Structure 1
């Protein structure tokens, strides 16, 4: 009971807080974080990568396939068209597989390379950088933007702010129109919107998503990443000591401090200084306003902006690059990163299995859906000829995008009479409903309930497709 708990002295870490902003704006992060522009290989790669996905986002809804919009997620018609593939509510399992594959792909990438999705592919990050680019063009670089916000309104400030917000609204409107164009024919949407003939719901969602884009990318920015996005909260559960993340090498960088450029690297080491000159550029270029030198933080989106900024400073000081880099905790501790490890292998195996199941589901998916509805008014009836008759309604869904001819045949019932259409045509992506009657002599029935099949046959791309839908033939 007299043993004391050992106490370890820990040097407190000075946490960086962004400067700027006046009193009374404690929670207004946009008045405090002014992101500085940075150049470097990672920034160039991120911009190139972002432009590719931005271009795909803008071009895909304009593509045509078989005379219609190639990608159209028509919620009103409950039909998703993706080139030659048409998905219906009956294909919900495919959508589930797509979400599962996406989730495990995210888990795999996060375990391997940290939060690179946020830094390089997330739409929020891409649009924030687009808005920041317009902000720099209209208001100038970081220091000029700070001074512009501090000074009272004048003609020059008014013109710069107006130009910036006009560009922001234009980008938001184009983004919203393109996004809504995935759910309604995009050509007609653009014409109807700018001629004020758009439907209420289409117009409502264009305005809604435009406001969301303008608010998120223009004002909320890092708030979406640090307070709203759930990914920032559970990402650490997928990290381990071998995960590549943007990290600061404290062993090499400390003790940090300014020094003249004329000093050689060896002379700096003799004075007890590390490689970090405490220029704070890594903080100024960070889109979430953190100081990476304080260690791994959930706000870090692994964009690599601080890596480019620090490497630029190291070049000017004639120091080795890599003071801030994509590295692992194991490597920072002097060990070797283990790329192949059980957790990563597990995610990869599950990802491959899910992808296989997704493609198997697509490959085995039937191009025709058949539904049999019995007549609810009577179980059966006796005709004037003394035959026992059952009435059904046949619903045939053509899941393909081409017109198909279907024929109906009854299986499991001897010597039957068929009344109704036995051959009909269904347009691509349409549902055809037709009533039929099936009658037979009572002497052919061995029981009050006979299991039969209503067979629907068609030819799709030269292959004969037959759907045998089970139902009951009732008597007494």
Structure 2
């Protein structure tokens, strides 16, 4: 008698902990849907790239914390802080440069140039910005340094995590978090000092006289620094920052990235002390002794030997770790190195590789930066010290006076960007025999075609202006009109085009 080959019924069961179990003839192991985050404890390392990171971090931190304290005299009733993003005025001050809200396009252009610079740096050397200059990387490195002071290096921290709580462990943890909180407080003040006067802010915080807004933003900056640099760390780069996914489009085969020389290092395997290198190579092993130092020093916890990865921040610490091991083993360095994929492929075929600095994308990024940056610099150098804004009344469009002449009303604004009182002469062009009158200003019968207005230092003066023209001069329902403004002291001029409305003929 033949037995039918019947597949056993398999049932899917959702467990309370979120895992899935399949019941049937075979019972596979439980596979969790979610895995708890594994804390990464990067090991301290010495070498070229570690020194470069330390120097870069030191310079950037010094600039960040010192800049708000630099004084810059701008005259009476003007802020004396060299770098200030004053949201109450509002003005952006950068030494001798003052940006008004109407000139926000300068900041837009600056952001575009910075983005292109980031693209250029990525095309040249991968995520070198992330590894050496990103604020998150800088502060995370500081927090790890504080952690290392109180809890020791990687191996000691891992052992302490597995040990039960004792008074000594609690004190070391408390010291670490106190250091983190202190750095977060200093950082929060540093951020806030760019938006208000630094000495006044420090006094207000210590005397509990700071405004609700200042205290709120200070708490936000402190909290975000503590959470991001102390707890999130590499998770910020892996799951929250979009740049790792975007930067792959900026790379090409000639970009310098951290690479593992697989043709030289594989096959990998531990090396016994009694084993010499001739024996290892006879057994098919490469130069990599699988010590894992490159993984232990990585702040992202990745293994660069498995190939190119978007999460690698190109910090070069694995290069320092591997070079130190190669030196100990008496082997050439650069088993892990900054290299290009094209170089690896070329050397694998036995040819000589010459790194190409000038490439199409490099030229495009550099030219765009040059053009946009040059246009911004040219525009800024030629920008006037006075700006005009004119709004014509829409209701009514015009008024017919008793003598038959037509009058239009306008709201006229002049921005005086200097630190002195200014007097201006206002006139109109494009409309024959037009007369101008400024409400609230004394009329000059001898100069009916012009008016005199003034503006206080670093302010916007608003006026109500009437323009009147004879009926015979209004030949259409809409005529072009130009307001002309001349500084009586410096003879600087500016103009603004508008229209003059009249009745249908």
Which band: TM-score by shorter chain? 0.7 to 0.9
| Alpha-carbon distance in 2 for matches of 1:229, 1:419 | 57
Please point out which of 465, 482, 485 is paired with 1:456: 485
Q: How many Å apart are 1:161 and its aligned residue?
A: 1.2
TM-score, normalisation: structure 2: 0.81
Structure 2 residue aligned with 1:71: 83
Per the alignment, do residues 275 and 400 of structure 1 end up closer, same or farther by CA in structure 2, a change over 3 Å counting?
Answer: farther
Per the alignment, do residues 181 and 119 of structure 1 end up closer, same or farther by CA in structure 2, a change over 3 Å counting?
Answer: same
Check the 8 A contact 2:254/2:342 in 1, yes or no: yes
Contiguous gaps of at least 5 residues in structure 2: 1-31, 75-79, 442-450
TM-score, normalisation: structure 1: 0.86
Check the 8 A contact 1:36/1:285 in 2, yes or no: yes
Check the 8 A contact 2:482/2:497 in 1, yes or no: yes
Aligned pair 1:340/2:350, yes or no? no
Check the 8 A contact 2:56/2:132 in 1, yes or no: yes
| Alpha-carbon distance in 2 for matches of 1:321, 1:340 | 28
Per the alignment, do residues 177 and 428 of structure 1 end up closer, same or farther by CA in structure 2, a change over 3 Å counting?
Answer: farther
Q: Which has the bigger relative contact order, CA under 8 A and spacing at least 6?
A: 1
In the TM superposition, what are the counterparts of 1:304-319 in structure 2 within 5 Å?
304-319=316-331
Per the alignment, do residues 311 and 452 of structure 1 end up closer, same or farther by CA in structure 2, a change over 3 Å counting?
Answer: same
Check the 8 A contact 2:140/2:233 in 1, yes or no: yes
Check the 8 A contact 1:85/1:400 in 2, yes or no: no
Per the alignment, do residues 459 and 287 of structure 1 end up closer, same or farther by CA in structure 2, a change over 3 Å counting?
Answer: farther
| Alpha-carbon distance in 2 for matches of 1:449, 1:39 | 75
Match of 1:275, SS?
Answer: coil
Structure 1 residue aligned with 2:22: none
Contiguous gaps of at least 5 residues in structure 1: 1-22
In the TM superposition, what are the counterparts of 1:84-103 in structure 2 within 5 Å?
84-103=96-115
Check the 8 A contact 2:130/2:137 in 1, yes or no: yes
Check the 8 A contact 1:311/1:321 in 2, yes or no: yes
Aligned pair 1:36/2:65, yes or no? no
Aligned pair 1:433/2:445, yes or no? no
Structure 2 residue aligned with 1:56: 63
Structure 2 residue aligned with 1:4: none
| Alpha-carbon distance in 2 for matches of 1:312, 1:305 | 11
Check the 8 A contact 1:388/1:442 in 2, yes or no: yes
Per the alignment, do residues 309 and 459 of structure 1 end up closer, same or farther by CA in structure 2, a change over 3 Å counting?
Answer: farther
| Alpha-carbon distance in 1 for matches of 2:488, 2:206 | 44
Aligned residues: CA RMSD: 2.8
Match of 2:302, SS?
Answer: coil
Q: How many Å apart are 1:28 and its aligned residue?
A: 2.5
Per the alignment, do residues 404 and 131 of structure 1 end up closer, same or farther by CA in structure 2, a change over 3 Å counting?
Answer: farther
Per the alignment, do residues 251 and 447 of structure 1 end up closer, same or farther by CA in structure 2, a change over 3 Å counting?
Answer: closer
Please point out which of 238, 247, 261 is paired with 2:250: 238
Structure whose CA Rg is larger: 2
Check the 8 A contact 1:372/1:393 in 2, yes or no: yes
Q: How many Å apart are 1:214 and its aligned residue?
A: 0.4
Match of 2:103, SS?
Answer: helix
| Alpha-carbon distance in 2 for matches of 1:313, 1:401 | 63
Q: For 1:116-157, what per-residue CA distance to the aligned partner results, in whole angstroms no more than 9, with x for missing partners?
A: 011001111100000001101111111111122222222211
Structure 2 residue aligned with 1:9: none
Aligned pair 1:329/2:341, yes or no? yes
Aligned pair 1:117/2:129, yes or no? yes
388-397 vs 100-109, which deviates more? 388-397
Q: How many Å apart are 1:236 and its aligned residue?
A: 1.7
Q: How many Å apart are 1:474 and its aligned residue?
A: 4.3
In the TM superposition, what are the counterparts of 1:377-416 in structure 2 within 5 Å?
378-381=396-399, 388-400=406-418, 403-416=421-434
Per the alignment, do residues 238 and 381 of structure 1 end up closer, same or farther by CA in structure 2, a change over 3 Å counting?
Answer: closer
